[in-house]
Amino acid sequence: MSKLFFIFALLTLLLLGYALHAALVTAPTERTMGDVQRIFYYHVPSAWTAFILFFINFGASVYYLIKRNPTADIVALVCAEVGVVFCTVVLITGPIWARPVWGIWWTWDMRLTSTLVLWLIYVSYLFLRRFSSSGQTPTLAAALAVLGALCVPFVYFSIWFFRTQHPQPVMGGGGSIDPRMLHVLLINWLAFSCFAFLVCWSRYRLERLQRDVDHAHAMEALRDPRGKLR
């Protein structure tokens, strides 16, 4: 298990390095925006990765609600945590990009806004997990995750019609992208996905370990003939 983990980590590292090289050197420079555009190769893959992780979180939460499987709970937790991190990356790279290109940090555009709302929802999920005092945290969290995921389509629809008078992303619309750029983008996405998986994996192992330790302590308390009562 740990050997496999190690090999996978090494591969991911290599892939990340290659993707970095591809993004910074191989990819052609965009005509109007210049080098700033290269942030694109981090911005978009992060967004896609975050979406995938949130989707897994939803699946795991539903599964947990039905089957009460502790592994599903850990998976949900881990995916939410890592997903929030990637979503944060999107929310940081976006404004960094927007500043030189649009001249502003933030605008209430559809895509920006929906990302922000998504981020808010999953941060509130993590808050619930931390603040919950009972042994039933997983149940409550799973319930919230389901509601949060259901909210996403509504966010999308409502924001679609929201303040349409404001600028759309400059590079929206799929077709017009340079194939070489697309190639680099996909490489980066693959690298990011592997990286996310790697982080989730190690976080999963950590959480597992933590719970095992707790369990062992609990077992210890059971055996203790006259435990530290009182």
Partner 1 sequence: MTETAPAPVITVSNLIKQFGRFAALRGVTAEFASGKLYAILGDNGAGKTTLLRTFAGLNQPSSGSLSILGASKFRDICQHVGYMAHPSLLYDEMSGMENLEYFARLYGIANRTRCAQVILAVGLDPALTRPVGQYSQGMKQRMSLARALLHDPQILLLDEPFSNVDVHSTTEMVRLLARTRDQGKTVLIVTHQASLLEGAADEFIWMEYGKIIERTRDLKRLEISAEG
Partner 2 sequence: MTPPTGITRATLLKDLRLEWRSKDAINSMLFFSLLVVVVFSFSFDPTAEESRQIAGGLIWVAFLFAAVVALNQTWARELRNQVLDAYRVSPAPANSLFLAKVLGNFIFVIVLEALMTPLFIAFYRLRALGPAWQLLPLAMFGTWALVVNGTFFAAMCLRTRSREIMLPLLLFPISIPALLAMVQATTAILSGESSARFWIVLLSTYDLVFTTVCLLIFETVLNAE
- Structure token pair of residue 133: 């005092």
Tokens of 166: 């404001």
Kindly tell me which of 65 and 101 has the beta carbon lying closer to ligand HEM.
101
Among 91, 121, 181, 198, binds ligand HEM (CB under 6 A): 91
* The binder of ligand HEM chosen from 79, 112, 141, 181 (CB under 6 A): 112
Q: How far is CA 126 from CA 5, 80, 101, 130, 142, in A?
A: 26, 7, 33, 6, 11
Q: In angstroms, what is the minimal distance from the CB of 205 to ligand HEM?
A: 29
Q: Which of residues 150-209 bind partner 2 (CB under 8 A)?
A: 150-151, 154-155, 157-159, 161-163, 166
d(CA 115, CA 120): 9
Nearest approach in angstroms of CB 137 to partner 2 is 8
Which listed option, ligand HEM, partner 1, partner 2, none, makes contact with residue 226 (CB within 5 to 8 Å by class)? partner 1
Contact 148, 121 (CB under 8 A): yes
Question: Restricting to residues 42-61, which ones interact with ligand HEM according to CB under 6 A?
Answer: 43-44, 47
Residues 16, 17, 19, 24: is their CA dihedral positive or negative?
positive
Contacting range for ligand HEM; rule: CB under 6 A; set: 9-17, 72-80, 170-178, 188-196: 170-178
Q: Taking CB under 8 A as the rule, does residue 45 contact partner 2?
A: no
Q: Which residue lies nearest ligand HEM, judged by its C-beta?
A: 94
Q: How far is the CB of 221 from partner 1 (least distance, A)?
A: 5
State in angstroms the smallest separation of the CB of 131 from partner 1.
Answer: 14
Q: How many CB atoms lie within 10 A of CB 150?
A: 10
| DSSP annotation string for 80-111 | HHHHHHHHHHHHHHHHHHHHHHHSSS----HH
Q: How buried is 16 (Cβ within 10 angstroms: 0-12 exposed, 13-18 middle, 19+ buried)?
A: middle
Give, as ranges, the residues between 1 and 30 that touch ligand HEM (CB under 6 A): none
Which amino acid type is present at position 217? H
Judged by CB under 6 A, which of 94, 138, 159, 198 binds ligand HEM?
Answer: 94
Q: Could you tell me if 227 and 221 are in contact, meaning their C-beta atoms sit under 8 angstroms apart?
A: yes
Residues within the interface to partner 2 (CB under 8 A): 65, 105-108, 116-117, 120-121, 123-124, 127-128, 130-136, 139-140, 143-144, 146-148, 150-151, 154-155, 157-159, 161-163, 166
